[in-house]
Amino acid sequence: MQLVVARIGRAHGIKGEVTVEVRTDEPELRLGPGAVLATDPAGLGPLTIETGRVHSGRLLLRFEGVKDRTGAEALRNTLLIAEIDPEELPEGEDEYYDHQLMDLDVVTVDGTEVGRITEISHLPSQDLFIVERPDGSEVMIPFVEEIVVEIDLEEQKAVIAPPPGLIDDQAARDEVADGHSASSRDES
């Protein structure tokens, strides 16, 4: 199974190093020297990591055969893809690979069907589940423990405890209609 582990950013310096946007919780395992990674687009790879280091909070990589800034710039926006065993699990107890979460049914703690996870969006502050509802609309669910209270891979479901308005905006509309919106103010 293939797993996207990083996206190559801009060139750094003149000796072929590039910045990378890490997309794995295990960069030391997936992005270490000697790792051979497939690429998207495929014609640019495979790439073998020669060196890696952290500079100003960013991971910098140099690949075998890429010796100058021009070669590094040619790799910009390329996805780095690691081959993993589909049975392999992340090290942390509450960690999951995207492929494990895709297509899980999403239900509330009281059993109400919300939909099915169709995409996972990795944002700087948190990850989001993109959930397709039965009517075809989508809802975004923050993947935080206060909201996603259980992931049951055997039952193929994610159980959520959504705050008011997250999946049903009717409560928010009722609040506004009643004049009790948090953003309204009394003008005297």
Residues 6 or more apart in contact with residue 11 via CB below 8 angstroms: 17, 18, 69, 72, 73, 76
Nearest to 104 by CA among 152, 139, 161: 152
Q: Report pLDDT for 73.
A: 95
**Model confidence over 5-18: pLDDT tens digits?**
889 999 999 999 99
Residue with tokens 């890490």: 22
Torsion of CA 166, 171, 173, 176, to 10 degrees: -110
**Model confidence over 35-48: pLDDT tens digits?**
999 999 988 889 99
Nearest to 9 by CA among 63, 76, 60, 71: 76
Q: Report pLDDT for 45.
A: 83
Q: Is the pTM of this model over 0.85?
A: no
For residue 5 the two structure tokens come to 């582990």
**Model confidence over 62-71: pLDDT tens digits?**
999 999 999 9
Residues 6 or more apart in contact with residue 96 via CB below 8 angstroms: 90, 151, 153
